[in-house]
Structure 1
Amino acid sequence: MKLITWNCQGAFRKKAAQILRHQPDILVVPECEHPEKLVFNSTTQRPNDLIWFGDNVHKGLGVFSYGDYKFQLHEQHNADLKIILPIAVTGGQFDFTLFAIWANNRQDPDGQYVEQIWKALHHYEQLLNSERSILTGDFNSNKIWDRPRRVGNHSAVVEKLAEKNIYSVYHRYLNQEQGKENDPTFFLYRNKDKSYHIDYCFTSAEFYHQVTAVEIGNYEQWINFSDHTPLIVNFGG
């Protein structure tokens, strides 16, 4: 299974061909326009299944299957936790829960970014305890922005997931330290000198042991399309 997350910075219909060249089985796209706006043709493959969620038809969260995987939004989905989608994935070697993430809720006074994930970890705790899980997408967070007295900062989220034996694939596979990543995934104003690592793929142990490759797209290849580069994870077995 090849899993890719890429914040396309809107207008996905004009950019889909670029990411589909990498042949994802599952593709998570923050800032994706509503599927009705997408154009499928000889260069943009029609997905076999998809889920989209958002308040703005121009920028929501799209999740696409290009293999045998089928999606069902979980009955426990809390639409107030924006934008984090618990999706039951079937059709593969075994079923699992995919938490597709674009942490972005400007209306929440408790915090609009990583705080949304912190709340989701508690709301979906039973799912995380009992299921094979993957959490991936644009977390809009990094340890460098931790506010020590802030409940639910980035480090708290990482520690909470670690309690459930769920870890960042990029950090474990490439031996990286949180907050000191060698590979940025986001370039503020598309400026190469304002780079940060804010896109992640966290998996439970069963998935982590199947990882065969982890790749971060490079600035030169992707900057004409988005201020983010894709995170690509290959799972074998």
Structure 2
Amino acid sequence: MKVISWNASMKFREKFKVLDERYHADLYIIQECEDPARCNNTAYKDFAQNYLWVGENKNKGLGVFARSGKKLEEVELDSHYLRYMLPFKFEGKMFFGIWAYMRYVEDLVVYFSIYRDYLKEKPVVIGDFNSNVIWNKEHGNRTQTVLNQEFEDAGLRSIYHELNHEQQGEETQATFYMYRHNDRPFYIDYCYCDPAEIKKFEIGKFDDWAGLSDHMPLEVEF
């Protein structure tokens, strides 16, 4: 199973073909994408035959797109006005698609405190967290470190840090380049899951993707 998470920086209708041709994944988790139901782009609608979407702005939400014939089903959990977490099952596996928005990691800490029992199922939690431990002081007692501990207690690890043997906040690779500048790198996109399930994890290269977004795709194979 190949999964891609990417903040497309809007206008995904103009970018999905490039992403799909490059990865041909089973599942795409896309932040800042249009709601296919309210988009006039026919090719995008054809691509989105098997999808879920959540958001307030029809042009900028969180979408999940699966290959035709693959079983994708939403798990109905109250969001408690926290934005944006999209729980779903793909081929029977529990996922949480993430686009942390506005209050960023503070919303994530609250959300997964409420739904802690779901972490016992060893889900995949993946997406744009807009967070790093280097900004802990800005978030009081709802920080990336607190969220890490919540996940670790459930046996989930950040796969990048697990495979590269790096500490959070000391990353040598980036998932986000502020203003698309190569000299402004940050690590703010994550995949948390059971490390035993991982076959491959890679981050897209700046030269390949900076022309399309300030975020790099995460490629994960299970």
For the superposition of Structure 1 and Structure 2, which TM-score range results when normalised by the shorter chain? over 0.9
Q: Does 1:96 align with 2:93?
A: yes
- Give the structure 2 partner of residue 84 of structure 1: 85
- Say whether the 8 Å CA contact 1:98–1:135 is kept in structure 2: yes
Runs (4+) of structure 1 exceeding 3 A deviation are 38-41
Aligned partner letter, 2:118: L
- Identify unmatched segments of 5+ residues in structure 1: 107-111
CA shift, 1:224, in A, is 0.7
- Greater helix share, 1 or 2? 2
- Say whether the 8 Å CA contact 2:10–2:33 is kept in structure 1: yes
Q: Normalised by the size of structure 1, how large is the TM-score?
A: 0.87
- Give the structure 2 partner of residue 218 of structure 1: 205
SS of equivalent to 1:226: coil
Q: Normalised by the size of structure 2, how large is the TM-score?
A: 0.92
- Say whether the 8 Å CA contact 1:4–1:232 is kept in structure 2: yes
Measured against aligned partners, the alpha-carbon deviations of 1:102-154 in whole angstroms (never above 9, x if no partner) come to 000x3xxxxx100111011111112112x230000000001111118711101
Measured against aligned partners, the alpha-carbon deviations of 1:157-193 in whole angstroms (never above 9, x if no partner) come to 1111100101111111222221111111111111111
SS of equivalent to 1:63: strand
CA distance in 1, matches of 2:138, 2:183: 26
- Say whether the 8 Å CA contact 1:17–1:44 is kept in structure 2: no
Q: Does 1:162 align with 2:168?
A: no
- Identify unmatched segments of 5+ residues in structure 2: none
The number of aligned residues is 220
Measured against aligned partners, the alpha-carbon deviations of 1:173-228 in whole angstroms (never above 9, x if no partner) come to 2222211111111111111111101001101x2xx213121111111110110010
CA distance in 2, matches of 1:149, 1:50: 33
CA distance in 2, matches of 1:4, 1:190: 20
- Say whether the 8 Å CA contact 2:122–2:156 is kept in structure 1: no
- Give the structure 2 partner of residue 13 of structure 1: 13
- Give the structure 1 partner of residue 117 of structure 2: 126
CA distance in 2, matches of 1:181, 1:224: 23
- Say whether the 8 Å CA contact 1:85–1:100 is kept in structure 2: yes
Q: Does 1:54 align with 2:64?
A: no
CA shift, 1:46, in A, is 2.1
- Give the structure 2 partner of residue 2 of structure 1: 2
After superposition, the CA RMSD in angstroms is: 1.9
Identity, in percent, stands at 32
- Say whether the 8 Å CA contact 1:168–1:201 is kept in structure 2: yes
- Say whether the 8 Å CA contact 1:170–1:201 is kept in structure 2: yes
